[in-house]
Structure 1
Amino acid sequence: MGDLAVGARSGHDGPEDRPVQPDEAASPAAAGHAGSGSGSADGDTQGGGDQAGPPKKQRSFWKELPLLVGIALVLALLIKTFLVQAFSIPSDSMQNTLQQGDRVLVDKLTPWFGSEPSRGEVVVFHDPDNWLRGEPTTTPNAIQTALSWIGLMPSAEEKDLIKRVIGVAGDTIECKDTGPLLVNGKALNEPYVYPGNTPCTLDDQGGQFKVTVPPGKIWVMGDHRQNSLDSRYHQTDRNGGFVPVDNVVGRAIVVAWPPTRWNTLPIPDTFDQGLSVAAPGALGLTGAVPLVLWRRRRDTARLTAGNPRVSGSGTAG
């Protein structure tokens, strides 16, 4: 299985990103070794003095090996395609949440059921519009080409990144001065931001912005704010810096390697403060209901006061 890499270098001083690569060593294919489980089976013995049949010949391990390898490859392909995939982290753009050399497991199952990324999630996504231009690509050997063909490694052209989702469709995200970062007018408390970094930057290449996320898109940023070429620095591309939801591979759910770094990747509490913006239609309905009720009561009062045949009890005199 290939490796996924985050972050690509650009001419901009400071922030950098390199492609995130699916991890071969931590992939299901690498762990998909199965030992031979075959054993000898004795022939059945008939009662009444009949002689036992000839013993069944044990199948050679070397004859079973291709079958076992084939099963392991199929299982690895299914797991990688539909369930979980391992990716390695090659850059510093998500420090200290993720370090170079970390292996993360990415949930690929949930998106199959229509789930879309949520604020605060760490997600892996395909390069939206050449964010990783200039990043060198390696020429695969014959084995890597074969594994890529069957889906156990990404193609040489495939490049992915990993960032944190800051805003989803409809959100307005704003950076003023050095922060805090505002989502729909509410300040985020971001303890995951790299120590010494400010939530926003004062540079004129994207550090100061105010954007509204369009439908079908997300806005992503790295936790190492001063070393991440994220949505801020791609606002002139065809997506305006936003990442199409269809480009999202899945959510990174756990740091699986090295063992000393094992940890889950939960959504930070700051994203639980009710950041969603009420839809204009819902706001209009909320305001219209009291107005309609007030007008109905007013009209009823006028009708009662102006007609002597109508009493307060509603019966005719």
Structure 2
Amino acid sequence: MASDPAADADESTPAGDPAGVDSRPARRLLLEVGVGVLLLVLLRVFVIQSFHVPSGSMEPTIRPGDRVVVTKIGAGAVERGDVIVFDGTTTFAGGVSDPSVPRGRLGRALSAGASTVSIDLGEQDYLKRVVGVGGDTVSCTPDGGLVVNAEPAAEPWLAPGELPCETPFDVGVPPERLFVLGDNRSESADSRSHLGDPGGGMVPLDDVVGHVVWRYWPLARTGGLGD
């Protein structure tokens, strides 16, 4: 009896697959997973990243245990009053960066991508408020408050009774640098704590990760920072 060519074609196994198993769905799934991971990495590197806040140095604005979203879009466009996250590995933590990891925004991009796949490059991030930008003169006394460029600076984010500073200081902020303070001045190790260190506690603009724009945990306080 002559065979039916059409039937033979339907019953044949896929070319190159002697076991008779079609691997195309598995390859498609791997491709979709790979694309999803790539998009996640790109999102963290260039757009947004979330951070957990372990300390009370920014109370009452941000409390211990809060989780915040940081936007990296326009990270270098920093103004007074902005709450930022920055890499303080060499400026605040007193460490030495890995010479194999580029500094600045390229290094931050590599770090964000590495953290997505659970690789720690040893950076130490800090969350503070900007009170002085390049070219500013920033001074403070316990009684006179914070003064920027000879003008009193309003600080509505300080808790009632919180002194603007406990020890007077008067500094000039170099170009491409930032002077940062915590809102909880009595509990914050910030630029004031590093005035005598190399760099004078000034944060390089290139070390800025991004601006804090949203609190998503705890749910009872979800929203913006209310500045």
Which TM-score band applies after superposition, normalised by the shorter structure?
Answer: 0.7 to 0.9
Q: Give 2:4's aligned residue.
A: none
State yes or no: 1:180 paired with 2:145.
yes
State the secondary structure of the residue aligned to 1:215.
coil
**5+ long unaligned stretches in structure 1:** 1-52, 135-146, 202-206, 269-317
How many corresponding residue pairs? 197
TM-score, with structure 2 as normaliser: 0.76
Q: In structure 1, how many angstroms separate the alpha carbons of the residues matched to 2:121 and 2:221?
A: 29
Instruction: Pick the aligned partner of 1:124 from 74, 77, 85.
Output: 85
State the secondary structure of the residue aligned to 2:84.
strand
State yes or no: 1:72 paired with 2:72.
no
Q: In structure 1, how many angstroms separate the alpha carbons of the residues matched to 2:121 and 2:207?
A: 18
Q: Which has the larger radius of gyration?
A: 1
1:191 positional shift: 2.0
State the secondary structure of the residue aligned to 2:68.
strand
Q: Give 2:5's aligned residue.
A: none
Q: In structure 2, how many angstroms separate the alpha carbons of the residues matched to 1:265 and 1:250?
A: 15
CA RMSD, aligned part only?
2.9
State the secondary structure of the residue aligned to 2:37.
helix
* Sequence identity percentage: 38
Q: Give 2:67's aligned residue.
A: 103
1:62 positional shift: 5.5
Q: Give 1:171's aligned residue.
A: 136
Q: Give 2:13's aligned residue.
A: none
State the secondary structure of the residue aligned to 2:145.
coil
Alpha carbons 2:46, 2:73 under 8 Å: kept: yes
What per-residue deviation string (whole Å, max 9, x for no partner) do you get for residues 185-226 of structure 1? Answer: 22122121134311121xxxxx21011111010100000000
State the secondary structure of the residue aligned to 1:80.
helix
State yes or no: 1:190 paired with 2:151.
no
Distance 1:102 1:226, change over 3 A: same
State the secondary structure of the residue aligned to 1:264.
coil
Alpha carbons 1:172, 1:212 under 8 Å: kept: yes
Q: Give 1:3's aligned residue.
A: none
- Segments ≥4 residues shifted beyond 3 Å: 57-65, 147-151
Q: In structure 2, how many angstroms separate the alpha carbons of the residues matched to 1:97 and 1:161?
A: 15
